[in-house]
Amino acid sequence: MPIEKLLPDETRLPPLNALRAFEAAGRHLNFRIAAEHLGVSQGAVAQQVRGLEAQLDQRLFERRHKSLAFTDAGRAYHEQVSRAFALLRSATATLKPAPAKVTISVTPSFASRWLIPNLADFTKAHPDIELLILATENISSFHSEGIDLAVRQGRPPFGASLNAELLFRQEIVAICAPALLAGKRQPLDAEALAGLVLLHDAHNLWPAFLKEVAGWTGAPPERGLRFNQTSLSIDAALAGQGVALASRFLVAAELASGRLVRAFPGALAGERDFYLLTRRSAQLPAAVTVVWQWLISQRDENEKQSI
């Protein structure tokens, strides 16, 4: 004898899948839309609802051409079933809280060239932490904008209210696509470098690079393309449009893969390094501490690979 026959009538419930189908169909009053939300076929939803009606010996819906309408019994039952599912969802959420959220403010170039390519490792290691990334050149307010961490270029001191940790030195290198140097005598001399199309960004470091690194004594070349962000000048270099200047850590992956090469062997030490910042506090939230430590570990790993 089936076990359900041994149970009192009040403990026998319809199958959960049938109740889910009924709840979704009643929420949308449409079998097709309910099926899309449940990830099953329209026929499966209709079959589950028919089975529920047969078990309850009640018609729950009036079938119309392209929609459904509740019967009186169906409407009353749906209110109770919906309330039960809401209670189940609430109970489950209590046991499985939402991921901790950490908001980090970074420059657009840092976000696109370094942070986003490295995010897969972080999310794999910390699936319980949700990162909100704000990419902006503007100075963000930790208090009014709800920022937990920030990565900015600057020079210490940053003020008594902030904790600051050096993340990456600003070591500026000249980079280009390999094809741009094809047929040219290498390494390039200052004249050959200055004769290429120079890709400028908002930092305008080419005059200093040509003078201090390449030893160029002439007037700064006027030929070139100008961009408002370093990431755009790097993209242009990848496309073979000229030579860009970038912090070495931002293009380390492209240099390692050969998509970019050093157009000139020297490097320019920048005046403003990349620092990781947060509010000075007796104790940071646990999730913020995890992100802080992960960023520091990535810095340490980058330094090992550079040796």
pLDDT one-digit tens code per residue, 153-170: 888 888 888 889 999 999
**Is residue 304 assigned to a domain?**
no
Contacts of 302 (CB under 8 A, 6+ apart): 168, 249, 252
230 and 110 in one domain? no
Question: How far is CA 28 from each of CA 45, 78, 125, 141, rounded to the nearest angstrom?
Answer: 12, 12, 38, 43
Q: Which tens digit of pLDDT belongs to each residue from 209-268?
A: 999 999 998 887 877 899 999 999 999 999 999 999 999 999 999 999 999 999 999 999
Q: Which tens digit of pLDDT belongs to each residue from 127-151?
A: 989 999 999 887 767 766 788 999 9
Give the mean pLDDT of the chain. Answer: 88
Question: In terms of residues, how long is the chain?
Answer: 307
226 and 79 in one domain? no
141 and 52 in one domain? no
What's the total number of domains in the chain?
Answer: 3
Give the count of beta carbons closer than 10 Å to the beta carbon of residue 73.
13
More confident residue, 99 or 245: 245
138 and 53 in one domain? no
116 and 159 in one domain? yes
Q: Is the pLDDT of residue 82 over 70?
A: yes
**Is residue 71 assigned to a domain?**
yes
CATH code of the domain covering residue 221: 3.40.190.10
- The C-alpha atoms of residue 246 and residue 267 are separated, in whole angstroms, by 10
Mean pLDDT, residues 163-187: 92
pLDDT given at position 4: 44
Domain that holds residue 154: 100-166+274-299
* pLDDT class of 305 with cuts at 50, 70, 90: low
pLDDT given at position 306: 59
For 80-95, b/e burial (b = at least 16 CB within 10 A) is ebeeeeeeeeeeeeee
CATH code of the domain covering residue 53: 1.10.10.10
105 and 137 in one domain? yes
State which amino acid sits at residue 287.
A
Q: Which tens digit of pLDDT belongs to each residue from 26-70?
A: 999 999 999 988 889 999 999 999 999 999 999 999 998 888 999
**Is residue 76 assigned to a domain?**
yes
219 and 183 in one domain? yes
186 and 146 in one domain? no
**Is residue 225 assigned to a domain?**
yes
Alpha-carbon 215 to chain mean position: 41
pLDDT given at position 304: 65
205 and 286 in one domain? no
Cβ burial of 172 (10 Å; 0-12, 13-18, 19+) is buried
Q: Which tens digit of pLDDT belongs to each residue from 5-28?
A: 444 454 578 999 999 999 999 999
Residue that is last in its domain, among 61, 95, 129: 95
The model carries a pTM of 0.66
- The C-alpha atoms of residue 136 and residue 201 are separated, in whole angstroms, by 16
**Is residue 290 assigned to a domain?**
yes
